[in-house]
Amino acid sequence: MFKHIIEDHLDIRILELRHAEQLFDLVSCNQDYLAEWLPWVKGNNTIDHTKGFIEAALQKFANNDGIDCGVFFNDRIAGCISLHRLDWLNKKTSIGYWLDESLQGKGIMTKACRAMINYSFHDLQLNRIEIRAGVNNLKSRTIPERLGFDLEGTIRKAEWVNNRYIHHVVYGLLKEDWKNE
């Protein structure tokens, strides 16, 4: 299965059913924090929901239509990073991610995103990557800004999250502009 070592104690791995309990526990511990920006969190209230997500993610990977990975820090799942959908016709994708609140500020997700960008541009030969974030989700927005994405615009009322609409900012990065810092 897919595994990419980023550095000592940090790697990304495709999610497998054996990760379900650990992933469910992590989401449960971070539920209030994550629910502010992610609409699926409140519906993830049993281990079966998590298993269903992983099974669907494995099918998506088998169909060559995306990849959902765990971000592992010190061999424990710390969050997730995904290529949502692979648009092979237009050679583009989008990246989504979340991280355990207690591990933020250590550069973990920036490094995981850098690895996923390299994989997308070099291994998959894609040409464009987008990252979308809530306008007020400043922690999430710093990652594409740090990695050299261009702020391309705002989509108003893009998503219903936590009983309200949130606007999304859209960041884009082209293969020709990627400096792999």
Question: Residues 61-101: pLDDT tens digits?
Answer: 999 999 999 999 999 999 999 999 999 999 999 999 999 99
Rounded CA-CA distance 145/147 in Å is 5
Phi and psi at residue 95, in whole multiples of 5°?
-110, 135
Which domain CATH number covers 170? 3.40.630.30
> What 3-state DSSP class applies to 114?
helix
Sequence length of the chain is 181
State the pLDDT at residue 181: 55
DSSP state of 80: E
User: What residue has token string 């710390």?
Assistant: 78
Q: Report the pLDDT value the prediction gives residue 165, as an integer from 0 to 100.
A: 96
C-alpha to C-alpha distance for 9 and 75, rounded to whole angstroms: 7
| 127 and 174 Cβ atoms separated by less than 8 Å | yes
Tell me which residue range forms the domain holding 17.
Answer: 3-177
Helices (H) and strands (E) in the chain, counts: 5, 8
Structure token digits, residue 161: 């999250």
Query: What pLDDT, on a 0 to 100 scale, did the predictor assign at position 1?
Result: 58
Total number of domains constituting the chain:
1
pLDDT averaged over 10-residue windows placed end to end, the chain, 181 residues: 88 96 96 91 90 96 96 97 97 98 96 97 97 96 97 96 94 94 55
Nearest-angstrom CA–CA distance, 97 and 140: 8
Reported pTM: 0.94
Give the pLDDT of residue 42: 84
Place of tokens 């995904």: 82
Work out the end-to-end distance of the chain between its first and last CA atoms, rounded to an integer number of angstroms. Answer: 27
Alpha carbon separation from 166 to 94, 137, 145, 161 (Å, rounded): 18, 10, 20, 7
